[in-house]
Amino acid sequence: LAVNSSMKPLAIAAIIFSLSIISIKASAQIPHIGIYAHALYAAPLDESSQKLYNGGAGAVGGILLGKKSTRFNASIGYTHFFADNINALGDETYVPLKAGIRQYIPFTLHFLFVQGDAGVGFVSNKNSSDNSSRFAFDFGAGVKFGGFEAALIWDNFHELKPSGTSSWLTIQAGFN
């Protein structure tokens, strides 16, 4: 394709205009990526956990990826549950690896959110060699103030003895 010299400035302008439109469209397609880290305190909710543990402490970190008010969440955590004196198994360690969705509530300017996650929890006890991986899930809600956020999360994992669900209310706070 031959372009005469009087058409060169017009051709160059058309190419620059096309590239800028492609660039604007591409930048509009880039999703939001966020990393968060929270400290947490856990209080037992189910009857067997209330009998065996005095609470727990730990941390959770994750990645949020998405556009607008819906974000995909992938997280890993660590919680140490402190055994009661009658608990022969000793302290319990829970390491959840989960994926889920965080939804910011419309008209709150990303101030309020709800979140649900599911995955696997790796559970072990101090005085037992019976380590296992179990189904784990959580639901919760929180608030975000700039780079700081806090949440109340109902965290659960499958319990082997007694058979059922180990259920905990966690209070989380940290940075995003």
* Tens-digit pLDDT profile for residues 46-79: 998 999 999 999 999 999 999 889 999 999 999 9
What does the alpha-carbon distance between residue 170 and residue 42 come to, in Å, rounded to a whole number? 4
Contact 165, 156 (CB under 8 A): yes
HSE (side-chain half, CA atoms, 13 Å) at 64: 20
* Tens-digit pLDDT profile for residues 2-37: 545 555 666 666 666 665 555 454 455 678 899 999
| Residues linked to residue 43 through DSSP beta bridges, in sequence order | 169
- Provide the pairing of β-strand 132-145 with 112-125: antiparallel
| Vertex 116: Cα angle to 142 and 174 (nearest 5) | 40
* Tens-digit pLDDT profile for residues 129-158: 888 899 999 999 999 998 999 999 999 998
What does the alpha-carbon distance between residue 141 and residue 88 come to, in Å, rounded to a whole number? 35
